Chain A
């Protein structure tokens, strides 16, 4: 483990450090001690040499001066001599101890010893009083002076020997110092080498993997998930890190492959879907570029000879959608665009969707051109056929009706009661049939183009009153009353007089038809919001079952179980008219008081 190895390496380094320090201290101590002992030994010798001289001169001063005095004047004291002799001999022993093993020193000490023997012999003789004559005295003085001189010389000799020793010791010390320096330098070098080794190991085991990891992470950041980190062979904390990293890269690779695959699959599915849609589909980016188009669109573009562009009519619609920022989703095939391809007419209903992602990051437009040529053709056919058939039926019917009327007038002859009943019944059927045909023709007219309106300011109340007076005779016969309720100062509406009358008549007529005898039909006019007047027509009839309320404005819808006649076109035509007016028509939700309330909202002028 890296941690262990790091610990060992640093431990070694610390041991080495301690060893170097210990060795250094030890060498320093050793050298110091040696210098000290040398100094002490030699210095005592120098001191002893000096002492020898001092002691001799003390003795000489004390004793030799007596030689100049008359003899026997005072007895000589031997205490000083004994004391001095003992001290000198003691010191000489010390010097002899130092001199052991040093030939030159031993020789000097031996000579010193011999001279001292003679010197002390001289004084013994003096103190004992052996020296009595003048001659003896002067001889002794002379001999003692010579001996003293020799002692001084030998002392000097000893001192210089000791100095020589000291110098030699200093020399040895300096030699020792060089050696020690070398030793410590060697140890320091070793420590440096170990530190270098540790650095090298650290770099190799710590920095290199981190740098490698960094490089790999950078690669991953750039999307190259193939980059792996080599796993260190020996056990190391980095082994698990590298393994984890490689696993992560592998996971990312897998994920990306899955993403790539699902993307590819989605693309394929989209392409298949687009190809399966028989209508031309264009996907347009926000800046107007065609992002995608399906085979049907390519085909259409080829046929129109405008390969890479949107057809002009579509582009114009897209532009207006863009300005309004809203989709265009027409339902009515009549809003289809006409394209001429190979001398034939094609109608395409343009459906323009705006799409955007949640954050509005990806926006654009999808355009689907729904081919409604066939629907248009069928619709035209149906309208034409409706019209033709109605006319074809209507023509003979007018003849039949004329004849029935003439017969009923009884100008051609009187009718029996039975004949009259039968003819009246036939005439009723005929009238109903004609009414149906009229509505069918209205429908075909309504469908062959949006009703053209001649809109101007119209008084809605006046229209309502006209309508009510139109139905009053019919209603009065069944005891049905009318009530017109209105607000004061109603503004005029913007409408086509005749068309709006048609709508109101239809509603009033329906109310009269469905309300029970002796009940009331109410026409109410009031403001509805700031843009509309609302006209409501309510009756007391059974109302419209809720399940049919959504369907009553469909063409040909008739609520089941209706007694009265009609083909179910009245309300459809009303709705078409109100649409053209940009108004509304509807049924209010039922309540107890007014079972059926129809309303129309007409825009204000």
Chain B
């Protein structure tokens, strides 16, 4: 399996690549958006880990290029800080995995594992649909839940808004900033 880690911070890049590489996985790195796009052009990757904030082409810019080419590679968006607008922009591009920096190696591995081999939960199914930009399917996966936990409720709300969003920009604006705390990936020990 091949992973591409894109980050302009060399130590972090190195750490990420090292943490994710094992006998079954190989992580390559790119130090900026341009380089990442070049590598993506060259070969196929199973997963893209991209930093949101980068000097030339930022994380979302990279994803946009990919989606324009019709490539639906799963993407984990890493950032230290993200606004609700950027997050929604990302979700609409099929990026539903957010990793908040700083991140521990264990959490990083868990996040990657979860994306590559999703567990059999309604939320995982919904996120899987979200990765393919199928918001209505994602919302439907969560709707039957009788007692959603805050994270599930937050995702349901987002998917519901996005699925009928086309004419409803204002509903997006009204989503509270706090949803971000819920949608970001959380390791088992972070609860």
Give Cα A391–Cα B101 distance, bound, in whole angstroms.
11
Give Cα A400–Cα B181 distance, bound, in whole angstroms.
24
Interface presence of A73 (CB below 8 A): no
A504 to chain B, nearest CB (A): 16
B19 engages A406 (CB within 8 Å): yes
Give Cα A409–Cα B178 distance, bound, in whole angstroms.
33
In the complex, chain A residues whose CB is within 8 Å of the CB of B53: 391, 395
Interface presence of A188 (CB below 8 A): no
B 159-176 contacts with A by CB, 8 A: 176
In the complex, chain B residues whose CB is within 8 Å of the CB of A23: none
A57 to chain B, nearest CB (A): 168
In the complex, chain A residues whose CB is within 8 Å of the CB of B105: 402, 405-406, 409
A 429-466 contacts with B by CB, 8 A: 434, 441, 452, 454
A402 engages B15 (CB within 8 Å): yes
Convert B44-57 into 0s and 1s, putting 1 for each residue whose CB lies closer than 8 angstroms to a CB of A: 00000000010000
Convert B9-35 into 0s and 1s, putting 1 for each residue whose CB lies closer than 8 angstroms to a CB of A: 111111110110000000000000000
Interface presence of B103 (CB below 8 A): yes
A 19-62 contacts with B by CB, 8 A: none
B178 engages A398 (CB within 8 Å): no
In the complex, chain B residues whose CB is within 8 Å of the CB of A391: 53, 80-81
B176 engages A399 (CB within 8 Å): no
A397 engages B102 (CB within 8 Å): yes
Which B-chain residue is minimally distant from A405 (CB atoms)?
B105
Give Cα A394–Cα B52 distance, bound, in whole angstroms.
14
In the complex, chain A residues whose CB is within 8 Å of the CB of B176: 452, 454
B9 engages A394 (CB within 8 Å): no
In the complex, chain A residues whose CB is within 8 Å of the CB of B9: 395-396, 398-399
Give Cα A398–Cα B103 distance, bound, in whole angstroms.
7
Which B-chain residue is minimally distant from A499 (CB atoms)?
B178
Convert B86-123 into 0s and 1s, putting 1 for each residue whose CB lies closer than 8 angstroms to a CB of A: 00000000000000011111001000000000000000
Interface presence of B177 (CB below 8 A): yes
Number of interface residues of B (CB under 8 A): 23
Give Cα A406–Cα B16 distance, bound, in whole angstroms.
9
Give Cα A399–Cα B80 distance, bound, in whole angstroms.
11
B181 engages A402 (CB within 8 Å): no
Give Cα A395–Cα B10 distance, bound, in whole angstroms.
10
Which A-chain residue is minimally distant from B182 (CB atoms)?
A498
Give Cα A452–Cα B10 distance, bound, in whole angstroms.
36
B18 engages A398 (CB within 8 Å): no
B157 to chain A, nearest CB (A): 11
Interface presence of A477 (CB below 8 A): no
A434 engages B178 (CB within 8 Å): no
Number of interface residues of A (CB under 8 A): 22
A498 engages B178 (CB within 8 Å): yes
A406 engages B18 (CB within 8 Å): yes
A398 engages B104 (CB within 8 Å): no
Interface presence of A1 (CB below 8 A): no
B102 engages A434 (CB within 8 Å): yes
A399 engages B18 (CB within 8 Å): no
A395 engages B80 (CB within 8 Å): yes
A396 engages B11 (CB within 8 Å): yes
Interface presence of A403 (CB below 8 A): yes
With contacts A406-B19, A406-B105, A441-B81 known, is A398 near B177, CB below 8 A?
no
Which of A397, A402, A454 has the most B CB atoms < 10 Å from its CB?
A402
Give Cα A405–Cα B104 distance, bound, in whole angstroms.
7
B104 to chain A, nearest CB (A): 5
In the complex, chain A residues whose CB is within 8 Å of the CB of B178: 454, 496, 498-499
In the complex, chain A residues whose CB is within 8 Å of the CB of B81: 391, 441
B118 to chain A, nearest CB (A): 25
A455 to chain B, nearest CB (A): 11
Give Cα A499–Cα B181 distance, bound, in whole angstroms.
11
Convert A373-415 into 0s and 1s, putting 1 for each residue whose CB lies closer than 8 angstroms to a CB of B: 0000000000000000001001111111111011001001000
A402 engages B19 (CB within 8 Å): yes
With contacts A394-B80, A398-B80 known, is A403 near B101, CB below 8 A?
no
Give Cα A454–Cα B176 distance, bound, in whole angstroms.
8
In the complex, chain A residues whose CB is within 8 Å of the CB of B101: 394-395, 398
In the complex, chain B residues whose CB is within 8 Å of the CB of A412: 18
In the complex, chain B residues whose CB is within 8 Å of the CB of A454: 176, 178
**Can you pick out 29 interface pairs between chain A and chain B where the beta carbons lie within 8 Å of each other?**
A391-B53, A391-B81, A394-B101, A394-B102, A395-B9, A396-B11, A396-B12, A397-B102, A398-B9, A398-B12, A398-B101, A398-B102, A399-B9, A399-B14, A400-B11, A401-B102, A402-B11, A402-B12, A402-B15, A402-B19, A402-B102, A402-B103, A402-B108, A403-B15, A405-B15, A406-B18, A434-B102, A441-B81, A496-B178
8 shortest interchain CB distances as A-B pairs: A399-B11, A399-B12, A402-B15, A398-B102, A398-B101, A403-B15, A399-B9, A401-B102
13 extra interface residue pairs, beta carbon distance < 8 Å, beyond A398-B101, A402-B105: A395-B9, A395-B80, A396-B12, A398-B102, A399-B15, A402-B12, A402-B16, A403-B15, A405-B104, A406-B19, A406-B105, A452-B176, A452-B177
User: B-contacting residues of A (Cβ < 8 Å)?
Assistant: 391, 394-403, 405-406, 409, 412, 434, 441, 452, 454, 496, 498-499
